[in-house]
Structure 1
Amino acid sequence: MPEISPPTAPPQNAHSALDDAQGIAYGSLMAALSIVVLTHLGFVTGQTAGIALLISYTTGWDWAPVFFVVNLPFYWVGWKRFGPLFVAKSLFAVTLTSALAAVLPHYIAFSTLSPALGAILIGALTGAGLIALFRHGASLGGIGIVGLYIQDATGFRAGWVQMLVDAAIFGAALFLLDPVAVGWSFLGAVVANLTIAINHRRDRYIV
């Protein structure tokens, strides 16, 4: 059975609709919190969130709508391989994450946050959020969908796929942002992707 594809006959321990709703809500909240920390520190991240951040930094546009639009072309891959339910869940997750990332800065402020701790927090929040989404048949779109597609087809873990793509995005960020900030940002991405690669394993978690 594909790792996140709904089986023809759901097993007894399959997630309920309520399980999926809370899992996607939790994952979206963690991802949105990581974006709040990222933008506060002026960091960048990988995947489509990182692409949206670079566009936001260079144009002044808000991250949330840019992130939503950047993800749109990738839903075709999700629809083709994982079906409409996966796309619907992912679209909901992306929309909720975008909305929360736009609202949360009005309720959260940081007087002191070191770059090192911020990078670790970003990685931990992102990793926890993505694992929750993956385990409930969703993704934050973009590279996450492609990573899951490759993992399902070849066994090459989604976390490693994302790490390779992240490296390319960070290389581009070096031309746009302070290299020190990019270095701290890369630490956050490493923490996030190692969290996913170690904890989100097909042989340990199926439904």
Structure 2
Amino acid sequence: MNRLISFHDLQGLVFGVLMTSLGVVFLKAVGLVTGQTAGLALLLSYLLPFGFGPVFFAVSIPFMFLAWLKRGTDFTIKTLCAVAGISFVVPMLAAHIVIESIPPLLAAILAGACSGVGLIALFRHNASAGGLGILALIIERKTGFKTGWFQLCFDACVFLVASLVLEPMQLLYSLVGAVVLNLIIAWNFTIDQTRNSD
């Protein structure tokens, strides 16, 4: 059943966007990547003359049709808001948070933790961060295969491509961050925790 975004949902979406965006800022500070569409957007932002925000939004848009088709208008609107929010908040935070020195391993762990918590908040309020998260939620709903485990498998493909661009240690630290993110989701979230009634 579709509904207007309540204050309860709004605060969850804002928190999810903020924490997920902060995770991306940690990654960008040390030149790391993550999995899913955010990882693809980070990789492309390193290679192309475009920032993370526009690239992330563009990569996520094709999945909105899938979201609308499989999860309905309520989920799609909230996800579109989350994607737009992350696309805007990441460059805003990056412009105001100056990280002059942080060990890459610590940055990776903090990024995974922040993004994992942020994504859980989005999932629990019937939204996602776009892209693969939409597909992962659909698959868990239909098959019971955990969202975190599915994303971890897909991340392996992203990191295979990243290995052509990043230094070996950058790739290793990035992998640590992705594992932290997906384990947090796998251990702390199940699809029945969403407020979606379909």
TM-score bracket, normalised by the shorter chain, equals over 0.9
1:71 is matched with which residue: 60, 63, 74? 60
Deviates more, 1:109-118 or 1:180-189: 109-118
Amino acid at match of 2:157: A
**1:16, distance to aligned residue in structure 2 (A):** 7.0
SS in 2 for 1:83: helix
Sort the Cα spacing of 1:136 and 1:117 in 2 relative to 1 into closer, same or farther, 3 A. Answer: same
* 1:80 maps onto 2:69 in alignment: yes
2:121 is matched with which residue: 128, 132, 135? 132
Q: In structure 1, what is the Cα distance between the partners aligned to 2:191 and 2:159?
A: 28
Which aligned pairs between 1:107-146 and structure 2 lie closer than 5 A? 107-146=96-135
* CA deviation map 1:136-179 (0-9, x unaligned): 00001110000000000000011111001101000110001112
Q: Which residue of 1 aligns with 2:8?
A: 19
**1:76, distance to aligned residue in structure 2 (A):** 1.2
Q: In structure 1, what is the Cα distance between the partners aligned to 2:78 and 2:168?
A: 36
Q: Is the 8 A contact 2:123 2:194 kept in 1?
A: no
Amino acid at match of 1:79: W
* 1:173 maps onto 2:162 in alignment: yes
Q: Which residue of 1 aligns with 2:32?
A: 43
SS in 2 for 1:98: helix
1:201 is matched with which residue: 187, 190, 194? 190
Q: In structure 1, what is the Cα distance between the partners aligned to 2:140 and 2:161?
A: 25
RMSD between superposed Cα atoms in Å: 1.6
TM normalised by structure 1 equals 0.90
Q: Which residue of 2 aligns with 1:61?
A: 50
Which aligned pairs between 1:180-195 and structure 2 lie closer than 5 A? 180-195=169-184
**1:202, distance to aligned residue in structure 2 (A):** 3.5
Sort the Cα spacing of 1:106 and 1:206 in 2 relative to 1 into closer, same or farther, 3 A. Answer: closer
* CA deviation map 1:13-69 (0-9, x unaligned): xx9700100000000001111111111110011111111111111113111001001
Q: Which residue of 2 aligns with 1:3?
A: none
Q: Which residue of 2 aligns with 1:152?
A: 141
Sort the Cα spacing of 1:202 and 1:105 in 2 relative to 1 into closer, same or farther, 3 A. Answer: closer
Q: In structure 1, what is the Cα distance between the partners aligned to 2:103 and 2:165?
A: 22
Q: In structure 1, what is the Cα distance between the partners aligned to 2:190 and 2:77?
A: 23
Q: Is the 8 A contact 2:125 2:194 kept in 1?
A: no
Q: In structure 2, what is the Cα distance between the partners aligned to 1:34 and 1:206?
A: 22
**1:111, distance to aligned residue in structure 2 (A):** 2.5
Identity within the alignment, % = 44
Q: In structure 2, what is the Cα distance between the partners aligned to 1:77 and 1:101?
A: 25
Q: Which runs of 5+ in 2 are unaligned?
A: none
Runs of 4+ in 1 over 3 A off after TM superposition: none
Amino acid at match of 2:123: F
